[in-house]
Structure 1
């Protein structure tokens, strides 16, 4: 058992013996040493202070001197284990040799390094009051403490010094043969620590040190240990004579006679208040750090859950599913419309068997919620409102619930509740309600966490709602700039625009299907750099300019060239890619074959699947993107026959390019997928199949896809 060094470093002993005073200050007060209390007759260590425990940490006392020496790894200067030569630790405890021997220990302590030269001296307490006469102190002191070591060696044979040293430990002796096991002797250190004099103490059971906050269970264990004749070791909250509390590290051991009969109880005590308070402060700091860490982790989980949901209802459900199980038995999140009407509620419970009751309260009449005074108070609260837990008013619930609602609430559990407003900027958009089965179910840490959660989650939910509104408006604008697909005789046409899921802005991707006056069909897909209103405006300008040149009947190369010239000349748009294709019936097209001419301004390769299933890449006619300065070279043009049963696919790069896949790899995957689509599939079915297989759930870029089929 460990005795704190404070017990061995108190103020100078109040003894009249000048020889003892000369020995004690450098040994006990100024130079803390590893110290053992030894039962010499039994050859056992019955007590060890902190420094001694650090030298032999793996033992439970009492333990034999031999085992302690082995665990500490005590070795003499010649490298032999202590005890292998002339003297053992038991010899030293008995005072042989009086001046001690040199050793090293295997481990370090706060006062010595591993294998640092030390001197071990035994101080038998032969002049101490009985039954301490068979006890001994074994002290291990670094050799570098020359002055203390010399004093210890010089006085090692002085019995008065030994008794004085013993007096620096707080000792008590009680007589179990007398009624109530009274104290029969206390030393001066006990008087100094407790404030009780020998006259106050002798004749009384030491329970007079107990007070209102002394742990009764510990006292019960003490009584039981003494009843069984066992050593008791514990730290107890005791009280001094003046009423001040202190933490008392106590070891009470039985003293046996030659027949094994208990004659006395010897108590060794140390005031460890400072150490306990430091440990408590450390534990409180660790608890606070743990609570803060758990709170931050929960807040991060909630924010992350909300960030992954673009549907407002799903975000509300995610908040309840993450927050409630971490903080309460059950609870719910409800949100309101701009007019203050409750529009959604989601209940989460930690008891799966109560899920049916939760669904009843969610999906049926929610009057139980609209009539709740605590919910109404939170929804109408002002900034600075502090939510506090309260016992559920079970008695008044029947007045504002139906019998079915009341049964469901009681099944979920009613004890205490905490209703936190979900505050977003300048208003409350809903509440987080936490319910615990117990009336005392919400510690302060949970209340604080819920308050933080209400602020963070409210703002996050409002951001989701604002994002969805902005995204809906942006998509409405985006789609208003895209054309309706016209009905074209002899052709099956389908198109799709898929916006990036993580953007609320409009983009620059576009497509066009334009029946021309000469009977040909103009097809275009383009992509303006950027995802903002400027890109959308540029997209609209490009589409209008391309339409005007295509309407004139110009071939594909001239249309792209005119488009590039006008854009660069007027500074109409940012850099963009574009492919324009002109599909027309040939003179020899009685079998349905059409001629396809095309020109690409930096745009990905269109694909043509022939009736036999072969997929041909229209990789010709490539020039620089629109808006990129060239040396006046004309836009190239290529031609490809498109027989009956062929399918043309034109797309923007969002369909094939991702962070984890290059453009080349994406086109290769599109080619394989396109080839696998059934031959009889319609244009709409082909479009849907390509979108399903190539567009990810969290698409990072807008996608335009145009499919033209000659049936």
Structure 2
């Protein structure tokens, strides 16, 4: 069995807990010195005392729990100057060594040749990790062929004793295992401090720790790089324990030393493997992080497309864009829209901290007043590429920033808001850059990277096109609204009548269509009202409606056409004669005030929903249908009139089908709903119209309303 393997065996069965150490005077068979751990094994022992008394005080037993006999007692053996090459016992006391009946491994060696300790023996109780380990150790010792091999196993640990009363702590004894491990004989070791084992690569900090512990009289376990006599380095685990005499003073230091080079190498290999595993894990984590970032960017772009395309309002589109980039790409962000002469036509912003909103608004006020130069002007007007400014607060950039705007306040406020890293990104439309987005990260936040710039540019392209769509829609909406307003008349003031009208665009988003209303104060003593709906919901329907209204007005002024049916028939004939492929429903009525104060109403319909009358007592009824068909279907067919007498205080309501028709519902249901709402509506015609739109204006179709109150 090699010395190295023997030490490995002992190391495998003993733990790293502190050992109990005794110095036994052989001729007196007495324990004269103990270390603190041995004191805990026999706390009531008063030194010196016989080995048998100390054994009884420590309640030593064999592993089966039986009392140790005189001949088997390890302390008795050492008292007879017999070495104890390794024997398992157990101690009953609760101590630093562990719980009750903790197994111990006993090694005892006479210290022959030690100055002033020649008649002494060193006894060391090493803690075992469990009873099975102790049994394995016993089997390993007894199964060897001869005592020499068993002695090597037992003495595989190096033991040293140093004189603590000398400030240099010289060695007074070493066992043969120390010589086998270090190459230094007893004669070469005694009288010297253990520092002679250290060399050029020994850690000075460890040496200072050992020196401090020895000076303070404290126990210490360290692993230090030592050198053999032949210069070969090895890792030495040294456990130093103070040994106290009967007077309680530290008399010696016992060192238990183990060559742990193999374990250190294994630890290093394990650490290197662990480091490699951690590096691989970090690489995998970084790859996963990159994948997550890529997925987050794709999610951002998908979210941007979904959210920005969900509105045709450019202001709302800019607001949603800011909500997308803050805080994902910026702590705060600004979107600028160019105006004439290098001015900012519009500016909007968002900060991740709502408490900064007042300061941000103050900043925007300054931006709106400024004349732009520098990169913002280049991007707004010149189509330059995006720019990343990672060192926004550097001296070079601060000097450049002074030329960006004539408003010094703007630059000061941007510093107050916090700006360390900035991305300036164009939002290109189809033919030019319409807006610029500025993404800002504050000091303390992670600076923008090239990847951030790339995602911002990609997002800017998408946002620019969607903003361009919204801007184009708004321009078309403006034109359509102007066209619709030009086609809807200003109602004339007619004596005895109070009139209100409304036009409401349908939920399909079109603000222009073919619905119309008219109040014509024509020749004679009567007044005509008309309500109509040209097929379609676009500018073409609005244009056809304009032609139809012109014909209707002309026919209303023709004195030869003395009834509403005659007027509608004439309009139908003219649209056919002029080649107008117009199909429309129209309700037309003529009101005449009688001498009694009541009103005579004559009406005719070209397929339009019936007029509704609310009487002064609040009752509501529809006028009888005249059975006409829409204009543009069969102009040669004759039309009929019906006449009514309405008391003063009545209200006549004309409306288009958007107010009553709903998908999947029969018309009679919608008509009844309208009658119920009118019955509960205010009497003022303006309030009546507003009430109807509030209650029934959720239609997909356009709605035109004309309410006429008949006065006395």
Q: Please give the range of the TM-score, normalised by the shorter of the 2 chains.
A: 0.5 to 0.7
Matched residue, 1:429: 434
Within a 5 Å distance, the mapping from 1:118-197 to structure 2 comes to none
Contact 2:312 2:469 in 1 (8 A): no
Separation in 2 of the partners of 1:359 and 1:611? 55
Asked if 1:308 is matched to 2:311, the reply is yes
Taking a change above 3 Å as real, the CA distance of residues 301 and 401 of structure 1, as seen in their structure-2 partners, is farther
Taking a change above 3 Å as real, the CA distance of residues 557 and 463 of structure 1, as seen in their structure-2 partners, is same
- Secondary structure, aligned partner of 1:411: helix
Taking a change above 3 Å as real, the CA distance of residues 622 and 428 of structure 1, as seen in their structure-2 partners, is same
1:435 to partner: Cα distance = 0.2
Offset from partner CA, 1:72-117 (integer Å, 9 cap, x none): xxxxxxxxxxxxxxxxxxxxxxxxxxxxxxxxxxxxxxxxxxxxxx
1:337 to partner: Cα distance = 2.6
Contact 1:623 1:635 in 2 (8 A): yes
Separation in 2 of the partners of 1:499 and 1:321? 30
Offset from partner CA, 1:630-684 (integer Å, 9 cap, x none): 8x652233222221111111111233345587654443333222212233x2x22
Asked if 1:555 is matched to 2:563, the reply is yes
Normalised by the length of structure 2, the TM-score is 0.56
Matched residue, 2:334: 332
Asked if 1:573 is matched to 2:575, the reply is no
Within a 5 Å distance, the mapping from 1:77-88 to structure 2 comes to none
Taking a change above 3 Å as real, the CA distance of residues 282 and 559 of structure 1, as seen in their structure-2 partners, is same
Contact 2:564 2:589 in 1 (8 A): yes
Matched residue, 2:474: 468
Matched residue, 1:294: 299
Matched residue, 2:610: 605
Within a 5 Å distance, the mapping from 1:377-396 to structure 2 comes to 377-382=378-383, 385-393=385-393, 395=395, 396=398
Of 325, 347, 350, the residue aligned with 1:348 is: 350
Taking a change above 3 Å as real, the CA distance of residues 512 and 365 of structure 1, as seen in their structure-2 partners, is same
Taking a change above 3 Å as real, the CA distance of residues 690 and 339 of structure 1, as seen in their structure-2 partners, is farther
Within a 5 Å distance, the mapping from 1:564-643 to structure 2 comes to 564-586=572-594, 589-590=595-596, 592-629=597-634, 633-643=637-647
Separation in 1 of the partners of 2:605 and 2:222? 98
1:569 to partner: Cα distance = 4.8
Asked if 1:516 is matched to 2:517, the reply is no
Offset from partner CA, 1:556-601 (integer Å, 9 cap, x none): 2222233334434543132211111111234xx41x2112121222
Instruction: List runs of 5+ in structure 1 lacking aligned partners.
Output: 1-40, 43-130, 135-174, 178-204, 206-226, 230-260
Contact 1:389 1:418 in 2 (8 A): yes
How many residues in Structure 1 have an aligned counterpart in Structure 2?
450
- Secondary structure, aligned partner of 1:417: strand
Contact 2:383 2:426 in 1 (8 A): no
Taking a change above 3 Å as real, the CA distance of residues 562 and 288 of structure 1, as seen in their structure-2 partners, is same
Taking a change above 3 Å as real, the CA distance of residues 357 and 525 of structure 1, as seen in their structure-2 partners, is same
Q: Which moved more, 1:542-551 or 1:328-337?
A: 542-551
Of 667, 671, 676, the residue aligned with 1:672 is: 676
Separation in 1 of the partners of 2:290 and 2:667? 54
Taking a change above 3 Å as real, the CA distance of residues 406 and 336 of structure 1, as seen in their structure-2 partners, is closer
- Secondary structure, aligned partner of 1:333: strand
Offset from partner CA, 1:189-233 (integer Å, 9 cap, x none): xxxxxxxxxxxxxxxx9xxxxxxxxxxxxxxxxxxxxx999xxxx
Matched residue, 1:702: 702
Asked if 1:412 is matched to 2:420, the reply is no
Separation in 2 of the partners of 1:338 and 1:330? 26
1:508 to partner: Cα distance = 1.3
Instruction: List runs of 5+ in structure 2 lacking aligned partners.
Output: 1-11, 14-132, 137-155, 159-200, 202-220, 224-258
Contact 1:542 1:573 in 2 (8 A): no
Separation in 1 of the partners of 2:700 and 2:340? 31
Of 526, 530, 539, the residue aligned with 2:536 is: 530
Matched residue, 1:217: none
Separation in 1 of the partners of 2:222 and 2:585? 93
Contact 1:394 1:414 in 2 (8 A): no
Taking a change above 3 Å as real, the CA distance of residues 429 and 519 of structure 1, as seen in their structure-2 partners, is same
Separation in 1 of the partners of 2:581 and 2:611? 24
Contact 1:609 1:615 in 2 (8 A): yes
Matched residue, 2:490: 484
Higher-Rg structure is 2
- Secondary structure, aligned partner of 2:654: strand
Taking a change above 3 Å as real, the CA distance of residues 534 and 406 of structure 1, as seen in their structure-2 partners, is closer
Separation in 2 of the partners of 1:455 and 1:357? 29
- Secondary structure, aligned partner of 1:343: strand
1:378 to partner: Cα distance = 2.0
Separation in 2 of the partners of 1:329 and 1:285? 22
Separation in 1 of the partners of 2:511 and 2:288? 51
Taking a change above 3 Å as real, the CA distance of residues 635 and 275 of structure 1, as seen in their structure-2 partners, is farther
Contact 2:386 2:426 in 1 (8 A): no
Offset from partner CA, 1:220-279 (integer Å, 9 cap, x none): xxxxxxx999xxxxxxxxxxxxxxxxxxxxxxxxxxxxxxx9995587879999997996
Separation in 1 of the partners of 2:409 and 2:380? 25
